[in-house]
Amino acid sequence: LNVPVPRSFSYVKRNIPEVTVEQRERALKATHYNEFAFPAGMLTVDMLSDSGTTAMTDQQWSAMFLGDEAYGRNKGYYVLLDAMRDCFERGDNQKKIINLVRTDCQDIEKMMNEMYLCEYEGGLFNGGAAQLERPNAFLMPQGRAAESILFEIVRKILAAREPGKVFTIPSNGHFDTTEGNIKQMGSVPRNLYNRELLYEIPKGGRYDKNPFKGDMDINKLQKLIDAVGVENIPMIYTTVTNNTICGQAVSMKSIRETAKIAHKYEIPFMLDAARWAENCYFIKMNEEGYRNKSIAEIAKEMFSYCDGFTASLKKDGHANMGGILAFRDKGYFWKKFSDFNEDGTVKTDVGILLKVKQISSYGNDSYGSMSGRDIMALAAGLYECCNFNYLQERVEQCNYLAEGFYKAGVKGVVLPAGGHGVYINMDEFFDGKRGHESFAGEGFSLELIRRYGIRVSELGDYSMEYDLKTPEQKAEVVNVVRFAINRSVYSQEHLDYVIAAVKALYEDRENIPNMRIVSGHNLPMRHFHAFLEP
């Protein structure tokens, strides 16, 4: 048959209300045209974010029953760390059932050896008993909690060593919260993706197929290091997939090369691993040498290059909440930010500082503001994300939507689609007529809500704060809106409705208003809180 074979179905149903344009207009006015404040219950299709909006699987719902709500070292803590070791470090997603059932294991000797007191020397998760002496894995409620703790502690350490100095943190593309956290530590975020790769198109034509448009531009990275000096770059980030840069995938080659440069200068190499599984899927399908490897095997190699990572597991944890901050035992991150005595013994372990900060903000390391049941759902969700059929179905949905826009004649669609959404370049959509401070992309998003009850997210000039950036940073902004595909939620009917709506809006683009920021202009992450006006 010439159609995709269905790979999942759902038993839970939610009805969508009928809402008029006038009602949505009233709600937009009342919420000061702030998309994030628009009531979800009045929307027809909500594509604002793929974060935490996942429909969990039956396996996850049942895993929740096994969670326990102990204050210290609940079962889920061990199961989750083990799931992370399986998916990120052992390249083995076969043990899931055993691990989940093991939480009720009566063989205490076995549990002590394999889970409770295990050490994972050299890895990202030393887990169990070792977490007390050398903490290096911190559960978090979500990704930005991991970022804020990381950057707050790094800021303190650097300020104590060299007061008043400004640091630069390069990435292939920082997410807006990562940028916000870096700015709040007084440092400069830089996005060194390869602009030529992204825009290798004849104007108005189809984007050529390059499967790894999210890669770090290695030449730019080297130039930046030479220009600002190794000593002013406390860490180098790579975001997989590259959400800010149209959700594009990052090749293993790029990750390997970035790690090599970072390590040449003894700079810690960090991953923002929110969409680790989708990135592994793209590597499997499009990079030579990976076709026969499992998603978990590819993840194992990918994580082997980093010295630490932050991750929102509300994405590729297939869960509604969860995050993690972890660093490699005695890797470059640990070496750079710990203090040592003259004889080489550790004076202050950075892990302890992070742990104290975590306890004061999110509770202890074995729950990080999550309930025991949510931790179990997340553990099961990590294994779900290793499922090739699930990933394929998801990426095909993104592709269906992107191709649908393209075939409908909408200009500026980024092809190929990323793994979690579809992006439309607003400069092209508006035929280059609107300029950078019109915030027409936000106008597009609000008009899509007003006319059709579809919410998407602007990730361009407005949210990425084009007008507040330096000339170098301005050149790094990609002026896009994103149609996020929620995990395991949509049917083709949802996507066809969205395609028809965007086609209609494109044909009437002249009448889409520009937006003016009425308040909250200069505060970080303004799209979450600012008031707007057409």
Identified binder of ligand F0G from the candidate list 90, 96, 300, 314, rule CB under 6 A:
314
Alpha-carbon span 420 to 482, nearest angstrom: 9
Selected binder of ligand F0G within 57, 99, 312, 463 (CB under 6 A): 312
Interacting positions 189-248 with ligand F0G (CB under 6 A): 239, 243
Handedness of CA 276, 282, 284, 287 (dihedral sign): negative
Residue whose beta carbon is closest to ligand F0G: 143
Considering the complex, what minimum distance in angstroms separates the CB of residue 276 from ligand F0G?
10
Phi, psi of 340 (to 5 degrees): -120, 145
Contact 68, 74 (CB under 8 A): yes
Task: Round to whole Å and give the CA distance between 95 and 113.
Answer: 17
**Residue whose tokens read 């406390």:** 234
Closest to ligand F0G by CB, 48 or 252? 48
Of 281, 372, 296, 331, the C-alpha closest to 85 is 296
The distance of closest approach from Cβ of residue 297 to ligand F0G in the complex, given in angstroms and rounded to an integer, is 23
Cα separation, 396 vs 4, whole angstroms = 9
Strand-strand pairing, 188-191 and 168-171: parallel
**Segment contacting ligand F0G (CB under 6 A): 103-111, 173-181, 281-289, 506-514?**
173-181
Site string for ligand F0G, 38-57 (x = CB under 6 A): -----------x-x------
**Pick from 272, 316, 374, 447: which binds ligand F0G (CB under 6 A)?**
272
Written as six digits, the tokens of 166 are 């400004």
Shortest distance in whole angstroms from residue 43 CB to ligand F0G: 15
d(CA 420, CA 397): 9
SS3 label, residue 497: helix
Q: Where are the alpha helices (DSSP H) in 231-387?
A: 252-264, 276-286, 295-304, 313-316, 332-337, 350-362, 372-385
Q: 172 and 250 in contact (C-beta within 8 Å)? A: yes
CA distances from 209 to 212, 248, 417, 482, 517 (A): 9, 11, 10, 19, 37
Q: Which stretch binds ligand F0G (CB under 6 A): 15-23, 95-103, 107-115, 142-150?
A: 142-150
CB of 47 to ligand F0G, least distance (A): 10
Interface with ligand F0G, residue 149, by CB under 6 A: no
| Least Cβ distance, residue 243 to ligand F0G (angstroms) | 4
Q: Is 142 in the site for ligand F0G (CB under 6 A)?
A: yes
Contacts of 76 (CB under 8 A, 6+ apart): 66, 67, 68, 103, 372, 373, 375, 376, 379
Q: Which is nearer to ligand F0G, 130 or 422 (CB)?
A: 422
Q: How many residues bind ligand F0G (CB under 6 A)?
A: 15
- Which helix (H) or strand (E) element contains residue 455? strand 454-455
We find the least distance from the C-beta atom of residue 189 to ligand F0G, in angstroms, to be: 12
Using the rule CB under 6 A, give the single segment among 138-146, 206-214, 223-231, 326-334 that binds ligand F0G.
138-146
Which window, 22-30, 100-108, 130-138, 174-182, contacts ligand F0G (CB under 6 A)?
174-182
Residues 436-495 touching ligand F0G, rule: CB under 6 A, are none
Segment contacting ligand F0G (CB under 6 A): 3-11, 38-46, 82-90, 139-147? 139-147
Judged by CB under 6 A, does residue 422 bind ligand F0G? no
Pairing label, strands 454-455, 45-46: parallel
Residues 341 to 400 in contact with ligand F0G, rule: CB under 6 A: none
Can you give the binding site for ligand F0G, defined by CB under 6 A?
A: 49, 51, 142-144, 175, 177-178, 239, 243, 272, 274, 312, 314, 323
